[in-house]
Amino acid sequence: MSKSLRILVPVKRVIDYAIKPRINKAGTGVEKTGVKFSMNPFDDIAVEEAVRLREKHKNLVESVHAVSIGPAKAQDILRTALAKGADTCTLIDAKEAELEPLAVAKVLKRVVEAQNANLVILGKQSIDDDCNNTGQMLAGLLNWPQATNAAKIELDAARGRVQVTREVDGGEEIVSAALPMVVTTDLRLNTPRYATLPNLMKAKKKPMEKLTLADFGDVDTQARLQTLKVEEPATRSAGVKVGSVDELVEKLKAAKAI
């Protein structure tokens, strides 16, 4: 593996993880006005991992390119990715359109080809739609191997392979594949760095390619799903304190719970 690793990191702008989303009046989705948006946390981990791979393997990693499909404001999270160490980025302005994972994966496939990327590191899941689909669909469309839920990523430079440790129920699974490949990140892969103010300032000078969804006019981005209704979970009724185990048993019997 000469200096030949071109990493693509797709990043999504989502409602900040610390915000408790509220359902809109129409009951069709969550309220987005006046709410703080940030980079999807798993994508932040993906950016961090790409930057760490470059720091560790200076001679192998040629470029780290971030891409976001979303509203024009998604440029904020792209600037953050640049401040954290990505070299270049692409904003694909989708206006108000909220693309489903298949449509995102189809557009990302085009970006992979345009960037000649050979390693794509995505978040395992967007915290807004919770789909956990895009990485897998992208790997399928590209016909590349995939390793999802990565807890550790190691480059085997001599063999041109990537080894990924995956967290699975009750343990770890270690898989390895030859490049090109798709990896999705799990929570414990790393702890992302903060974007410092000086780096955010410097990031303003880094290149941002601006495209629109119309530039991918021949890609079918049509929605397949229709949201019928979005509801808050039912509120729990207040509990009561019992004085003894006997009283507890009595109450459970009365409630027909036992």
- Residue 43 binding ligand AMP, by CB under 6 A: yes
Minimum Å gap between C-beta 258 and ligand AMP is 40
Q: Given 3-state DSSP classes, what are the helix, strand and coil percentages for the chain, each rounded to the nearest 5?
A: 30, 30, 40
Pick 49 or 87: Cβ nearer ligand AMP: 49
Q: Which residue has the tokens 């185990």?
A: 245
Pick 1 or 121: Cβ nearer ligand AMP: 121
Pick 133 or 163: Cβ nearer ligand AMP: 133
- Residue 66 binding ligand AMP, by CB under 6 A: no
Cα four-point dihedral sign 187, 92, 38, 53: positive
Q: How far apart are the C-alpha atoms of 41 and 75, rounded to whole Å?
A: 16
Q: How far apart are the C-alpha atoms of 104 and 165, rounded to whole Å?
A: 26
Which of 22-30, 127-135, 139-147, 193-201 is the region at the interface with ligand AMP (rule: CB under 6 A)? 127-135
Q: What is the Cβ-side half-sphere exposure of residue 74, based on CA atoms within 13 angstroms? A: 28
Question: Phi, psi (5° rounding) for residue 43?
Answer: -75, -30
Pick 72 or 249: Cβ nearer ligand AMP: 72
- Residue 209 binding ligand AMP, by CB under 6 A: no
- Residue 77 binding ligand AMP, by CB under 6 A: no
Minimum Å gap between C-beta 189 and ligand AMP is 12
At 243, is the secondary structure helix, strand, or coil? coil
Q: Pick from 12, 65, 79, 166: which binds ligand AMP (CB under 6 A)?
A: 12
Question: Phi, psi (5° rounding) for residue 65?
Answer: -120, 130
The maximal CA–CA distance of the chain, rounded, in angstroms, is 73
- Residue 85 binding ligand AMP, by CB under 6 A: no
What is the contact surface with ligand AMP in residues (CB under 6 A)?
10-12, 40, 42-43, 68-70, 99, 101, 104, 122-123, 125-126, 129, 131-135
